[in-house]
Every structure is written in structure tokens, then in C-alpha cells.
């Protein structure tokens, strides 16, 4: 469900800017999300200070994620994929441009980031507590979420008792506990073996289709991008710009080895190689 919570362009008022009574910033403004978009990135640039001065990482990126859409961000290492995801999450703020989201996004990293002294269920309950769910309801909701990610009966298991794939399932359940309409995923399966990753691709697709979440998924794996997404967005090498987009019209279920998936992956890989070559010539 769309919310009207004001979500800033992921920043507070800067020098010379005065927030209004409603918290909005008129120069580089805080924007209330329109329900027509789960996320809207408008002319966003991001620079970081470096030894040689300001280094431009993202350059004038505009991108929309529709409600219920699954979009993958693809590009070479260092092109700014994770930086862009952090801006959408509100963990950093853009140098220029605005980011608008439909409510506060949930974020899932490559590392599961579970608290090892808590059980799987208690890790999920922590997210429910922060969301304001009454204590009497938390265990039941945590068990429902564990069942959703196919970990029924794992409520009391400690982190060290779980495999890598199981830990990522718990992390996914914890992200879903936030009841956000937008799930941001930063290479969540990169550290897993191929078989486990394949299984979790199926699970993520199932959960996305059941919950109708919007997903913005960062990866450097072309096959993974094509297998999962409705749309693949390729970023150029630094500074990151939107180089090209593909609409993936391949019906689910998909496999990386499927002919249509493999053919599109080859096409995108050639584009990615071209971007890397162009970057190497500068």
C-alpha cells in the first residue's frame, strides 16, 4: 500500500537551506512519493572527495521503478550500483537531483547481517519491534514470515546452526517484516554456491510474485539479472550513467540455461564488455 510518508531526496537540509514546517527542503527538496512509482530517481549525481579532488561516481541518472516491478541494476565493479542503491535507501544523499520512494524501502545486503546472539525468529522480531508491532503479535508474525521463505520450524535456530542459504532466507524474512513496498537488494546471493543461488532465485521470484513487491536488485552477474528481472538497466563504467535498458519478456519460471535467457545474457554481456572497453580507453 502506498504511503504518504515524506521521503527526502535522501538528505537533510544543507547549508543555506531551510526546511519548512512539514520537513521539506525546497532547494534539493524532500518529496512525497507519488503512488505511480515505487521509486523515482531524477537527474541524480553523486561525487565523493578523493586525493585528486571531487570524484564523480554517478552522473545525471534518471530511473523509475513501477509498483510491483522487478528491476536489476547491472554494471562493472565500481560503476556506482551500490552507491545508487544506498541513495534510494536513504543511507546517503545525492550531490544533485532527487530520489523519491513510495514509503521507506527495505534493504538486504550481500552479508546477511543477522545478530548471532539472537535466534532466527528473534532477528525477525527485532524488525517487527522497530515497526511498532505489539509484542504479543511478534512471534506469530515472525513464524509466518519464516514459513513464507520456506523455513518453517526454524524460529529457535541460532545463526551458527543455519547454512548460508538459510541465513539469507532469514535476512529476506527480516526485510519483508518491514512491510515496505520497495525491496532493495545489493548482491544478496553473490557469496552463495551456484546450486543454493539457483534455489534462492526461485524463492525470490515466488515471493515477489506473491507479495507484489517492487524490487531493485544490484548484481554484476548478467545471467542472474536476466533470470530475475522484468527490466535490466546497464550502468556505464565510472561515472555511472544509464547506458541501456532491456525489457525482459521471457515468461516465468526461468532458468539461466534456458535458450531465451542465455541469448539475452549474451547480448547484454557484449554491451557490458563494450562499456568496460570504453572506460579503459579514457
What pLDDT does residue 7 have? 31
Same domain, 141 and 250: no
Last residue of a domain, one of 148, 179, 210: 179
What pLDDT does residue 5 have? 28
Residue 55's CATH number: 3.40.50.300
What pLDDT does residue 77 have? 82
The whole-chain average pLDDT of the chain stands at 85
- CB-based burial, 99-108: b 16+ in 10 Å, e otherwise: bbbbbbbbbb
Across residues 35-39, what is the average pLDDT?
A: 85
Same domain, 126 and 241: no
Same domain, 23 and 88: yes
Same domain, 96 and 20: yes
Confidence of residue 34 (pLDDT cuts 50, 70, 90): very low
Same domain, 79 and 208: yes
Same domain, 64 and 201: yes
Q: Give CA–CA dist 218/213, Å, rounded.
A: 16
Nearest to 40 by CA among 105, 108, 106: 105
Q: Which residue has the cell 519491534?
A: 129
Last residue of a domain, one of 154, 179, 204: 179
1 belongs to a structural domain: no
Same domain, 175 and 43: no
- 75-112 pLDDT per residue, tens: 888 889 999 999 999 999 999 999 999 889 999 987 77
What pLDDT does residue 200 have? 94
Same domain, 184 and 198: yes
Residue-range definition of the domain harbouring residue 32: 6-105+180-280
Across residues 171-195, what is the average pLDDT?
A: 93
Q: Does 151 sit behind a cis peptide bond, omega within 30 degrees of 0 on the bond before it?
A: no
231 belongs to a structural domain: yes
Last residue of a domain, one of 179, 205, 220: 179
- 206-229 pLDDT per residue, tens: 999 999 999 999 998 999 999 999
Across residues 162-185, what is the average pLDDT?
A: 94
Across residues 252-281, what is the average pLDDT?
A: 89
Same domain, 95 and 38: yes
pTM: predicted TM-score of the whole model, two decimal places: 0.84
Residue 24: CA atoms inside 13 Å, Cβ hemisphere, count? Answer: 12
Looking at per-residue confidence, does 109 or 259 come out higher? Answer: 259
What pLDDT does residue 35 have? 59
231-235 and 242-247 strand pairing: antiparallel
CB 232 within 8 A of CB 268: yes
User: Is the pLDDT confidence value at 145 over 50?
Assistant: yes
What pLDDT does residue 167 have? 94
Same domain, 175 and 194: no
Same domain, 79 and 203: yes
Q: Give CA–CA dist 82/91, Å, rounded.
A: 11
Q: Give CA–CA dist 43/248, Å, rounded.
A: 25
Q: Which residue has the cell 543555506?
A: 16
Confidence of residue 54 (pLDDT cuts 50, 70, 90): confident
Q: What is the count of structural domains for the chain? A: 2
Same domain, 150 and 201: no
Amino acid at each position: 500500500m502506498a504511503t504518504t510518508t515524506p521521503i527526502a531526496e535522501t538528505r537533510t537540509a544543507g547549508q543555506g537551506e531551510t526546511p519548512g514546517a512539514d520537513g521539506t527542503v525546497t532547494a534539493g527538496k524532500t518529496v512525497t512519493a507519488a503512488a505511480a512509482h515505487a521509486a523515482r530517481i531524477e537527474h541524480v549525481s553523486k561525487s565523493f572527495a578523493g586525493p585528486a579532488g571531487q570524484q564523480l561516481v554517478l552522473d545525471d541518472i534518471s530511473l523509475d521503478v513501477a509498483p510491483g516491478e522487478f528491476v536489476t541494476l547491472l554494471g562493472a565493479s565500481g560503476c556506482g550500483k551500490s552507491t545508487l542503491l544506498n541513495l534510494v535507501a536513504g543511507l546517503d544523499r545525492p550531490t544533485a537531483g532527487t530520489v523519491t520512494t513510495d514509503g521507506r524501502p527495505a534493504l538486504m545486503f550481500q552479508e546477511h547481517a543477522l545478530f548471532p546472539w539472537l535466534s532466527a525468529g528473534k532477528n525477525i522480531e527485532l524488525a517487527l519491534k522497530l515497526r511498532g508491532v505489539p509484542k504479543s503479535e511478534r512471534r506469530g508474525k515472525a513464524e509466518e514470515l519464516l514459513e513464507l521463505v520456506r523455513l518453517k520450524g526454524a524460529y529457535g535456530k541460532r545463526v551458527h546452526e543455519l547454512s548460508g542459504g538459510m541465513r539469507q532466507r532469514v535476512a529476506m524474512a527480516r526485510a519483508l517484516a518491514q512491510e515496505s513496498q520497495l525491496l532493495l537488494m545489493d548482491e544478496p546471493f553473490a557469496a552463495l554456491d551456484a546450486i543454493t543461488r539457483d534455489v534462492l532465485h526461485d524463492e525470490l521470484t515466488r515471493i515477489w510474485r506473491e507479495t507484489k513487491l517492487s524490487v531493485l536488485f544490484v548484481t554484476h552477474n548478467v545471467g542472474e539479472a536476466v533470470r530475475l528481472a522484468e527490466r535490466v538497466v546497464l550502468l556505464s563504467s565510472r561515472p555511472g550513467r544509464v547506458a541501456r535498458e532491456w525489457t525482459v519478456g521471457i515468461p516465468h519460471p526461468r532458468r539461466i540455461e534456458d535458450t531465451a535467457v542465455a541469448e539475452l545474457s549474451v547480448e547484454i554481456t557484449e554491451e557490458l564488455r563494450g562499456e568496460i572497453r570504453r572506460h579503459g580507453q579514457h
